[in-house]
Amino acid sequence: MTHKVTIFKNIKETITPYHVELDLILNRIKDGSDSKVLVQKIRKEKKKLERNELKKQLPAICFSGTFNKRADNSLIIHSGIICLDFDGYPNFKLLMEDKESLSKNKYVYSVFVSPSGNGLKVLVKIPQDSENHTKYFNSLENYFNSEYFDKTSKNISRVCYESFESAYAHTQNFGTKYYEDEDRVNQVKGKLRRGVSKKEIRTQLEDTKLDKQVIDSVLNKAEESNNNQTFWIKNDKGTIKKSCVVS
């Protein structure tokens, strides 16, 4: 599946979008074709106010889809990507340690250093489900459980300044799995335990317009969890005992 995103000339431009493939944006970040010099200038600037003014000249990206203009209600199609911010690192060493860890996470598609050099931008693949975008954000906040996780970047048209990082390519994970909302998985697990058929659950999930790949993943994850859980059964003498079934 391809992921189309939106890029604007800068943060002040909100009504002239350009719709491009995600990998084109990531290649721009890697080779610095448009922003390398400016990003390097931003990272050398010690004054925060001056850095913020310089960042306004950078291209602005909405990673979560194609938009008619930069507004939540102007979404055309969700990209299946959410961009998370990790900010406030006390030193660069800790930032790079987190980057290394995040780059190995099964749900992270790409991670790169922000234009300021003080934070990380983390791209995660989620279902193309615009109505539940914020729920996925909240679930990912709980999943990563990091003190550096920016809780404010949950709106679907959240903008991200284009960065530059030549080493970024090593952190792009082409085998990334979709992140499924844990609440949704738990609901499916409960239905399976109550005896609801997989066929019926699949139909219910299809009605939510989830991709087939995501539905398969949710069902498999829920079923695997149920098969491996510990539960109570009666033995031949009528006594309750604990039994673990392993698939």
The pLDDT tens digits of the residues spanning 153-201 come to 899 999 999 999 876 544 555 555 666 666 666 777 777 777 788 888 8
Mean pLDDT of all residues in the chain? 82
pLDDT at 119 over 90: yes
Task: Flag whether the pTM goes above 0.85.
Answer: no
pLDDT of residue 238: 39
> Distance (Å, rounded) from C-alpha 62 to C-alpha 162?
10
The label of the residue with tokens 């082409």 reads: 174
Residue 56: DSSP 8-state: T
**Residue 204, pLDDT above cutoff 90:** no
- Residue 203 has what pLDDT? 83
Give the whole-angstrom CA distance, residue 84 versus residue 76: 21
- How far does Cα 16 stand from its chain's mean position? 25
Work out the pLDDT band at 229, boundaries 50, 70, 90: very low
Helix (H/G/I), strand (E/B), else coil: 161:
strand
- Rounded-to-integer distance, Cα 25 and Cα 23, Å: 5
Ranking 3-7, 14-18, 78-82, 232-236 by mean pLDDT, the lowest is 232-236
Question: Which of 157, 176, 175, 52 lies closest to 114, judged by CA?
Answer: 52
Q: Does residue 236 register a pLDDT over 60?
A: no
Nearest in space to 31 (alpha carbons), one of 140, 169, 146, 134: 169
Q: What is the percentage of the chain residues whose pLDDT exceeds 70?
A: 78
